[in-house]
Amino acid sequence: MPEGPEIRRAADKLEKAIKGKTLTEVWFAFPALKNYEASLLGEQVDAIETRGKAILTHFSNGLTLYSHNQLYGVWRVIKSGKQPESNRILRVKLAAADNTILLYSASDIDMLDRDALAAHPFLLRVGPDVLDMSLTVEQVAERLLSPRFRRRQFSGLLLDQAFLAGLGNYLRVEILWQAGLAAQHRAMDLTPEQVEQLAGALLRIPRLSYQTRGRVNDKKHHGALFSFRVFHRQGKPCERCGGIIEKTTLSSRPFYWCPGCQK
């Protein structure tokens, strides 16, 4: 499943294609959404927001399309008037004069007004988004040490969207390596310095992945590009201590770590 940085980059592409443009065609596959097709014609997409792995498409009439890709959903951008070939099932079509955005295969889709948006169960459940640039290291450290999360092992905590939205398995692996911590550690057992280091990595690693991943030839970011240090590197030497990276399964997901420096 894509993690927060991949979802945000997908939303960026959608925004670039259709934000601020008048909708000339609106189509929904689900009968419960059909009534909204006519009311959205002539409106605009004001913004496309992400909350963890959910995408919120905000329209100029105050409505918001909520969608969660889950395992199989995917958004596509095409030129309007084109008919792309796909084996996927089309769920949503939003077209402007030049570009069209299409949502395939997703099943978790809803149209929300402002009150419903504020009361949506998933959005109420998720924690602060790691790609929200207003979120600070101090706030994350406070969240780590809160009664709700301080006793949780990091193996499960860093996959829990209620803790921080947008984290996922590769980010869990890379964050713990950067902080020099093991999956069995808990915030309550750390020194203040370790808490601060982990809180910093919880924001720095996802943001670096979002900003630079896929741009490996961009010299402007040379030396600051996101790259896997332990994820999918079992059997290879650790860049930090020279130990051999190992692989196991934690919380039903593959987990990679260096026993030499993540004790």
d(CA 190, CA 193): 8
Choice among 19, 88, 240, 253 that is catalytic? 253
d(CA 183, CA 255): 9
75 in Cβ contact with 82 (< 8 Å): no
Nearest CA among 57, 38, 1, 46 for reference residue 21: 46
Residue 93 designated active-site: no
Find tokens 């026993």 and name the residue.
259
Residue 2 designated active-site: yes
Residue 138 designated active-site: no
Choice among 3, 6, 91, 143 that is catalytic? 3
Q: How far is CA 9 from CA 6, 212, 214, in A?
A: 5, 10, 11
The b/e string for 160-175 (b: 16+ C-beta within 10 A; e otherwise) is bbebbbbbbbbbbbbb
The sign of the CA dihedral 122, 126, 128, 129 is negative
DSSP string across 185-248:
-BGGGS-HHHHHHHHHHHHHHHHHHHHHTT-TT-GGGTT-----SSTT-TTSBPTTT-PBPEEE
Choice among 2, 19, 43, 213 that is catalytic? 2
Choice among 5, 6, 8, 53 that is catalytic? 53
| Catalytic residue annotation | 2-3, 53, 253
